[in-house]
Structure 1
Amino acid sequence: MQSVEVKGAPEIPGEGKPRRNACSPDKLLDFPPEATTLYENFLHGVKISGSNNFLGRRPIVDGVAQPYVWQTYSEVQQRVANFGSGLCKFGLKPKAYLGFFSINTPEYVIAELACNQYNLVSVPLYDTLGTEALKFIINQTALEFVFTTSNKGRTLLDMKESIPTLKTIITSDDADQDFIDQAHGLKVQVIEFKTVENDGKTHKAEEVNPKPEDIATICYTSGTTGMPKGVVLTHKNFMAIVCSLIFLGEKGKMIKITKDDVHISYLPLAHVYEKTSAATFIYAGCAIGFYQGDTLKLLDDIAELKPTIFISVPRLLNRVYDKVFASLKGKSKVAQWMFTTAYNAKKNALSKGQIDHWLWDKLVFAPIRERLGGRVKAILSAAAPISPDVMDFLKICFSADVFEGYGQTENAAALTISLYGDLTSGHVGPPQACSEVKLVDVPEMNYTSNDKPYPRGEICVRGNAVFKEYYKEPGKTKEVIDKEGWCHTGDIGMWDELGRLVIVDRLKNIFKLAQGEYIAPEKIENVYCKHELISQAFVYGESLQTSLVAIIVPDPDALILWAKQNNLEKYSFEELCELPDTKKHILQALVNHGKTNDLKGFENVKNIYLTTEGFSVENDLLTPTFKLKRHQAKIKFQKEIEKLYSEISQT
């Protein structure tokens, strides 16, 4: 068993007993040795790897990326202290907020480590939120200082009238005169990173180190409807996850991270997934190399860096999977036969606990392994569900240990993780050793703790990694964290025969696509239903897919009018709904209508099915208050949905 019920936990009607990681059944872990804060976490890395490589970047000369250039842990430690002192000199006091609006760079990490040393709070900002959300975050946190690049800094200056608190921009690169003049005209001070660092070098500030319960960051969720929520995470929240991962590694249940490991940082540090990953690597004294900032050149950076542990998301791993099988089609029949034979042989070996093969790894899979640099020994996928087929593919082709994690911003990114040696796919493993998890009945969706063969329900988590609150949102905090400290995730899970968690559904009308984007289908449906051709719409997205599909009930009058205008008047309403031309026209109309109404690209549907039967109370697709019953709609149109996705995959 990978998880066990908590001893002495009471029987509560309507929910299952809490479960903990079987490696730590009696205690929820909190801190790894010698580190109770993210600053002490860094000091531990310095202690282990003082003269070893820490932060690496590729200089660009005449547009060409050069080999990685490195700074050691000891060198970075001095720069962190200097930059932190400089921040204090320019007016930032303990527990003040510093905004971060930048791609991943060594300067980003140095600035964030300085926040950890001088007890400042980082507030990440990122472009995909949109300008209105950026304004909301800056105004809600009353940001005065933002660390950024000149390019992204211009975005802030363009919205300066809407963000009156902004006073100082710290640029990680050289600011040109036009940018400086624009800022001064708006009464915004521009300071270059090196200036802050040099001032701190000559004007040492007294350190005020954080305590475990102090806030480390306010990490805003991408949101689904309305503005994003600021998740308040403490130093203890992050250290609990680091502790769990280190502990499981020592127990032989996770890959054991050492100072010899190398990590490539390309997933945004603005998101808690990369932030928690980086903290774990820093504790172990690993080397962290950064990508150039262009995802199209990421594989080139990987080939140069040769990471040993690859942290990724399904969207990118799916791309590797697709490219390998697409390239196979262009090869000879002999090469295809050899690949298929090798693949099937290794797939059969997975059930016996084997990921290596002395012949096939050299003969067939070596070129594929080189795509990730040739040294990867472990791959971790998280942020969204990944297909079991892709998980098996990674184990087979890279001969690597592949882990799948599940978590949210609200629990520092890591709620569960699959364990070392478990080569089966389709689950996300047991709880982290710092958390306990229970499933609460959702009778309206027929998920209960008494379900056979396995109990199901809403996933609730409690422990040392659970966030403190939503920033300035006490009402929303109470909706998620109950009086007993349980954080309600809104996801539906199931315990399997080994006590591993399987994600089976979503409680709320919110879900993630494979690339990790949150979708609020009601918002999209409301937009679509304003189009004259649409009577009703059911928007659906599979968590293993990157796009949305929809079941559409056209408006009969509007559709017949369109038919007359296009010489299709001989067809009835029912016949029109079966015509490919009708479907093509309505789909394009919806895409255009979505763009006009500010739907993002991933929010527009990629395929539709037209039905003449309206959603109603009588056919159990609407509630008595005329709200769509999504669970029932999914069941009713399951075959149509599968066909829609099949058609997308063939285009």
Structure 2
Amino acid sequence: MPSFKAYNLEKQSVEVPGTRTPGATGYYRHAAFADGIVRNIREAPQLKTFYDVWQNSVTLYADNDFLGHRPFNTVAQTYGGYTWETYRQINQRVSAFGSGIMHLNEVILGNDQLNRWSLGIWSHGRPEWFISEMSCNTYNLVSVALYDTLGPDAVEYIINHAEIQIVVSSANHIASMLENADKLPKLKAIISMDSLHDTVPVPGATSASQVLRAWGAQKGIKVYDFNEIESLGRDFPRKHIPPHEDEVASLCYTSGTTGQPKGAMLTHKNFVAALGSNREGMILTSDDVLISFLPLAHIMGRVVDSCVMYAGGKIGYFRGDILLLLEDVAELRPTFFPAVPRLLNRIYAKLVASTIEAPGLVGALARRGVAAKMANLAAGKGVHHALWDRLLFNKVKMALGGRVQVILTGSAPIAKEVLSFLRIAFGCVVLEGYGSTEGMATATITMADEYIPGHIGCPRAGCEIRLVDVPEMNYHSTDQPYPRGEICIRGDAVFKGYYKDEKNTKETIDSEGWLATGDIGFVDNRGCFTIIDRKKNIFKLAQGEYIAPEKIENVLGARCNLVQQIYVHGDSLESTLVSVVIPEPETFVPFANSIAGTSVILGDLEGISKLCKDPKIRAAVTKELEKAGKAGALRGFEFVKRVHLSTDAFSVDNGMMTPTFKVRRPQVAEYFKEHIKAMYEDIHNSTPAAKL
């Protein structure tokens, strides 16, 4: 089970003396590592690459169960329990698959054997994902994760940008690649993670695999299944080609905000540094069991998995359906549950409904129990209570299988009340981490016994942080009571740069190795950091997706003739967007009249104001914005879910626009804050609880 080192909660990080410069704070380091940050795995400094880490685990834990999944019974149409493969067995498959793709690339496709190349991986987490990635590390190749929510255009861009010739994919993505083969001139082979050796149900009929292979041949793309490549590798085995620590292990493409995704070049040194830094905070063991469902195209998921792998623990993958996740959790009974705020919010809502909001005696007892445990937590007395755990919360723990010792949340902020409730409800450590793709998701984390919510903790052992002035937003390192500024991080986990993108690399990393995050924060007297703003008008929704509101406003304003002015609002504690629209009278009035059956005329401000308040009209405008969003190729999470209509136009005079006629976002948000609040309340009240 996980263990944690005890640190001083009242002095979590310190500013290194003599490191202040004009316009910035000094360097803040974890208080226990003030003399120097961690740059490797201190207990195993000989491990320099991710390949070294894997071979170390194979040596130490060869016969331990490692990767598990729930096989699907095609006859019964049901999923079974978890089946496992050991570290030794997975290592054998890594060597076989790695040898197979090397033979495929050099002998079958005829590529130069001296060139390092990139392998695309497109699937949710499963054993074949790990085998594909570790094969790249074993044969000194570069893994490139593809991700569904980036959209087909982004996937096409990444395959071409990274010059990927071979993609390993779950079967459901093969057709889309073949359909777009003309746009993927580099793509030469697709390897299906799912078997293509299906039986022909009727004599003389054509199987799905035959269709795919024939379609691929027509497009000049060879189609194989995973087992075929492993078999090829066993027939033509290759010696391992250990990488160097400074070589790129993976290209991790960020979702971006405007323009195309950027490929962060993550080196072997980055992976080892992140692992070493995480090891200083939480020590996992071979007894630990992880439920792996975070997207492995995002670096947080891979860092978490690698921490368990290094410790010799077990990784059980979910089935790929987030709505069935808790069924997988109940079957696996993990000890380690990494998550994102959106999921934890759903769990919180379900628990609240069944406890403190429950009717009768159950609700009354739950409210007393929650109050008692919250009081203990606020007083720094921990998350356990002998009486209330026995009466109530031991049953609550079963929602996550009953064995969870650690919940880790990241990728977006989580509300204070949710964090505290989860701590006392599950009686376990709940950690909140902060980081970015460019820094291996390893910048700050809260301490295990933290009882004050609302911040992102202190620097990791392998990271140092400083705050840099942002004068145009009135944030300064000299601010009182606490220094404020852009959060910049430095350490061996910071990436090498963006692939084929020197301009953005230089804008993101300075000559001293400081990574500019774009997040504005402050550091308090305990040495804890809190994020308060973004340097640019970019933010994350609760599920971790970046939003560029001005881009969305431009799309909707250009494509919906009902709009005179529009402001799109999002909140990192919410998963959806809402908007304030100032209608264009000439088009809005007849449109609204046709819906409401009224005869308001242009110039009738009172009549137009009444139309704006009509729920049917607001709903109709929302649908028109949805049409505009689809026409403008917005992604699903970029659509606005509610609209407030107003005749109070944004202007320079009322302070809601600049002299150059740009919207002053904070001022608009403040002016319409009650309406924004009401829109979110309406969303919450009208959305049925999602099935967990």
Amino acid at match of 1:68: Y
Amino acid at match of 1:401: V
Matched-pair contact (CA < 8 Å) for 2:69–2:127: yes
Cα offset for 1:634?
A: 2.6
- Alignment match of 1:537 (pick from 566, 581, 584): 566
Of residues 495-504 and 447-456 in structure 1, the stretch that sits farther from structure 2 once superposed is 447-456
Amino acid at match of 1:559: F
In structure 1, how many angstroms separate the alpha carbons of the residues matched to 2:592 and 2:130? 60
- Alignment match of 2:88 (pick from 52, 70, 74): 74
Matched-pair contact (CA < 8 Å) for 2:600–2:608: no
Q: Which residue of 2 aligns with 1:596?
A: 631
Matched-pair contact (CA < 8 Å) for 1:44–1:285: no
Q: Which residue of 1 aligns with 2:591?
A: 562
Amino acid at match of 2:335: T
Q: Which residue of 2 aligns with 1:252?
A: none
Amino acid at match of 1:616: S
In structure 1, how many angstroms separate the alpha carbons of the residues matched to 2:131 and 2:71? 18
Q: Which residue of 2 aligns with 1:366?
A: 394
In structure 2, how many angstroms separate the alpha carbons of the residues matched to 1:151 and 1:605? 29
Q: Which residue of 1 aligns with 2:411?
A: 383
Q: TM-score w.r.t. structure 1 length?
A: 0.96
Matched-pair contact (CA < 8 Å) for 1:120–1:216: yes
1:88 pairs with 2:97: no
Amino acid at match of 1:270: A
In structure 2, how many angstroms separate the alpha carbons of the residues matched to 1:611 and 1:441? 37
In structure 1, the gaps of 5 or more residues are 250-255
Q: Deviations over 1:189-239 (max 9, x none)?
A: 122222222222232212211111110100111112121111111111111
Q: Which residue of 1 aligns with 2:61?
A: 49
1:176-195 superposed matches below 5 A? 176-195=209-228
In structure 1, how many angstroms separate the alpha carbons of the residues matched to 2:356 and 2:542? 25
Matched-pair contact (CA < 8 Å) for 2:253–2:262: yes
1:133 pairs with 2:166: no
Percent identical: 43
Matched-pair contact (CA < 8 Å) for 2:577–2:641: yes
1:13 pairs with 2:4: no
In structure 1, how many angstroms separate the alpha carbons of the residues matched to 2:350 and 2:257? 31
Matched-pair contact (CA < 8 Å) for 1:439–1:449: yes
In structure 2, the gaps of 5 or more residues are 1-10, 107-112, 197-208, 687-692
In structure 2, how many angstroms separate the alpha carbons of the residues matched to 1:549 and 1:111? 40
Q: Which residue of 1 aligns with 2:362?
A: 335
Of residues 557-566 and 81-90 in structure 1, the stretch that sits farther from structure 2 once superposed is 557-566
1:447 pairs with 2:475: yes
Cα offset for 1:446?
A: 2.2
Q: Taking structure 1 as reference, are residues 265 and 563 closer, same or farther at Cα in structure 2, changes over 3 Å only?
A: closer
SS in 2 for 1:237: helix
Q: Which residue of 1 aligns with 2:109?
A: none
SS in 1 for 2:465: strand
Cα offset for 1:444?
A: 2.3
Q: Taking structure 1 as reference, are residues 457 and 330 closer, same or farther at Cα in structure 2, changes over 3 Å only?
A: closer
1:22 pairs with 2:31: yes
CA RMSD of aligned residues (A): 1.7
1:397 pairs with 2:425: yes
Amino acid at match of 1:629: R
SS in 1 for 2:33: coil
Amino acid at match of 2:264: V
In structure 1, how many angstroms separate the alpha carbons of the residues matched to 2:325 and 2:592? 49
Q: Which residue of 1 aligns with 2:308?
A: 281
SS in 2 for 1:650: helix
Amino acid at match of 1:444: E
1:306 pairs with 2:333: yes
Cα offset for 1:329?
A: 7.7
1:629-648 superposed matches below 5 A? 629-648=664-683
Q: Deviations over 1:277-329 (max 9, x none)?
A: 11111111111111122222211111111100101101111110111223348
1:162 pairs with 2:189: no
In structure 1, how many angstroms separate the alpha carbons of the residues matched to 2:355 and 2:385? 20
Q: Deviations over 1:358-394 (max 9, x none)?
A: 2212221223211111000000000111111111111
- Alignment match of 1:319 (pick from 309, 325, 346): 346
Q: Deviations over 1:480-524 (max 9, x none)?
A: 112222111111111122111111111111111001111111121
In structure 2, how many angstroms separate the alpha carbons of the residues matched to 1:564 and 1:79? 67
Matched-pair contact (CA < 8 Å) for 2:356–2:366: no
Matched-pair contact (CA < 8 Å) for 1:353–1:421: no
In structure 2, how many angstroms separate the alpha carbons of the residues matched to 1:328 and 1:422? 24
Matched-pair contact (CA < 8 Å) for 1:346–1:355: yes
Q: Deviations over 1:443-485 (max 9, x none)?
A: 2222221222211111111111111111111111112112222
Cα offset for 1:331?
A: 4.3
Cα offset for 1:353?
A: 3.0
Q: TM-score w.r.t. structure 2 length?
A: 0.90
Amino acid at match of 2:15: E
Matched-pair contact (CA < 8 Å) for 1:225–1:520: yes
Matched-pair contact (CA < 8 Å) for 2:652–2:658: yes
1:447-596 superposed matches below 5 A? 447-530=475-558, 531-565=560-594, 566-569=597-600, 571-596=606-631
Matched-pair contact (CA < 8 Å) for 2:356–2:364: no
In structure 2, how many angstroms separate the alpha carbons of the residues matched to 1:69 and 1:616? 63
SS in 2 for 1:364: helix
Q: Taking structure 1 as reference, are residues 560 and 83 closer, same or farther at Cα in structure 2, changes over 3 Å only?
A: closer
Matched-pair contact (CA < 8 Å) for 1:104–1:268: yes
In structure 2, how many angstroms separate the alpha carbons of the residues matched to 1:586 and 1:296? 31
- Alignment match of 1:207 (pick from 240, 243, 254): 240
Cα offset for 1:100?
A: 0.3
In structure 1, how many angstroms separate the alpha carbons of the residues matched to 2:513 and 2:665? 30
Matched-pair contact (CA < 8 Å) for 2:289–2:315: yes
Of residues 594-603 and 280-289 in structure 1, the stretch that sits farther from structure 2 once superposed is 594-603
Q: Deviations over 1:87-141 (max 9, x none)?
A: 2222264631100011211111112111111111001111111111111111111
Cα offset for 1:269?
A: 1.1
In structure 1, how many angstroms separate the alpha carbons of the residues matched to 2:587 and 2:336? 56
Q: Taking structure 1 as reference, are residues 210 and 353 closer, same or farther at Cα in structure 2, changes over 3 Å only?
A: farther
Q: Which residue of 2 aligns with 1:616?
A: 651
Of residues 403-412 and 356-365 in structure 1, the stretch that sits farther from structure 2 once superposed is 356-365
Of residues 503-512 and 301-310 in structure 1, the stretch that sits farther from structure 2 once superposed is 503-512
In structure 2, how many angstroms separate the alpha carbons of the residues matched to 1:326 and 1:593? 37
Matched-pair contact (CA < 8 Å) for 1:241–1:432: no
Cα offset for 1:564?
A: 4.7
Q: Which residue of 2 aligns with 1:345?
A: 372
Of residues 79-88 and 495-504 in structure 1, the stretch that sits farther from structure 2 once superposed is 79-88
Cα offset for 1:592?
A: 3.0
Q: Which residue of 1 aligns with 2:13?
A: 3
Matched-pair contact (CA < 8 Å) for 1:440–1:459: yes
- Alignment match of 1:295 (pick from 322, 328, 344): 322
Q: How many residues align?
A: 644
SS in 1 for 2:581: strand
SS in 1 for 2:458: coil
- Alignment match of 2:295 (pick from 268, 293, 296): 268
Amino acid at match of 1:172: M
Cα offset for 1:330?
A: 7.9
1:174 pairs with 2:195: yes
In structure 2, how many angstroms separate the alpha carbons of the residues matched to 1:174 and 1:590? 43
Cα offset for 1:27?
A: 1.5
Cα offset for 1:410?
A: 0.9
